[in-house]
Copies of this chain bind each other. A is one copy, B any other.
Amino acid sequence: MDPRVERHAAVIVDHCLDLQAGDEVLLMVPSVAEDLAVALAERAGDRGAFPIHVGGSARSHRAFIRAMDPEAFDEPPAAYVALAERADAAVSVRASTNTHQTSDVPPEKNAAFAQLMQPIEESVTGKRWVGTQYPAPGNAQDAEMSTPAYEAFVYDAVNKDWAAQRAFQANTVELLDDADEVRIVAGETTDLTMSVAGMAVVNDDARKNLPGGEVFTAPVPDTVDGEVLFDMPVMHQGRELVDVRLTFEAGEVVDAAAEKNEALLESLLETDAGARRVGELGIGMNRDIDRFTANMLFDEKMGDTVHLALGRSIDETVPEGREGNDSAIHVDMLVDMSADARIELDGEVVQRNGTFVFEDGFDDGA
């Protein structure tokens, strides 16, 4: 077996889930990722944990959803609920031979199914849970890479020394913890300010997402002002939004445009009141993610980027007694910060052209 797969399994079992003797762990691993399933089963066994393999292929999922009548189910399947409730931990692995396998499932059926399964999803992701990626051919194709090159990309991003990465990211957490106003400037097209005063800053060292590698928080609602060009494509509902431009006033989008699929952007903004507001500010710090691969699990952790999410704030970023943003959507959008760009905190430049103030080679602009 590829030793990178065994290392990936070790990171999942030892770092992300910290499996203990007696733990029952759900392995939700598509068959194209069988090597990872084998390595996870072995590593779980080593730790005295019991692996339970669940979940079918995208082909089975497609066949079932197309055939089912959503009206036939008024509550989630009791056996699945019982399984999810009793499990101690879970791994969800993404891996596709064809990422468009469910593209001919009627959207309303997909939505009905997702709604039916939501309590189970919440039960599973509320445990020691991690979502990760196996470098299957369909995913390599989405990334516009050969499968071997994509494998190298994925394993570099996930098989890291996460303690070292955490320590590296702690520098940014410290800066943000002390900050009130954040200003993001990139070229002539992005100049945005927001307050993060009193919001919690999270050091994502790959507990729930593997790869991890971002530092994120939530802006204070109503404080987002200025304009931004998201210069990397945004994938939404299988479609690509290109060069999204947003103008914010007092926290709300007042002007929106996109070079491609602008109508989709407009419908997105009209989802609900919170869809016009920013729920998350994230700073990508995983330098092994050095290219855009049209996969948000990786893209949002990319080095030299920041991202904003329209919609819902992440619970962990909103301390008791503070208010975040609420919405049915959470759509991340990225800004490239690698050139002609800076992050300022309370007027001090803390990152210029991707290099932080606490790194060698930082240009203080003097």
A81-B64 Cα distance, complex, nearest whole Å: 25
Q: List 20 A-B contacts (CB under 8 A).
A: A21-B72, A22-B73, A24-B79, A24-B80, A41-B60, A41-B61, A42-B66, A42-B67, A45-B65, A45-B66, A46-B67, A48-B72, A50-B68, A51-B56, A52-B54, A53-B54, A53-B60, A79-B85, A79-B86, A83-B83
A37: which B residues are within 8 A, CB to CB?
Answer: 56-57, 60
A146-B251 Cα distance, complex, nearest whole Å: 68
Q: Are B55 and A39 in contact (CB under 8 A)?
A: no
Q: Are B56 and A41 in contact (CB under 8 A)?
A: yes
**A200 on the B face (CB < 8 A):** no
A66: which B residues are within 8 A, CB to CB?
Answer: 42, 45
Residue ID in chain B nearest A75 by CB atoms: B22
A59: which B residues are within 8 A, CB to CB?
Answer: 34, 38
**A157 on the B face (CB < 8 A):** no
Copy number in the complex reads 2
Q: Which A residues contact B (CB, under 8 angstroms)?
A: 21-22, 24, 26-27, 31, 34, 37-46, 48, 50-57, 59-61, 63-69, 72-73, 77-88
A43: which B residues are within 8 A, CB to CB?
Answer: 67
Counting from the closest, the 8 A-B pairs by CB-CB distance are: A45-B67, A53-B56, A31-B31, A79-B86, A82-B82, A42-B63, A45-B68, A41-B64
Least distance between A122 CB and chain B CB atoms (Å): 16
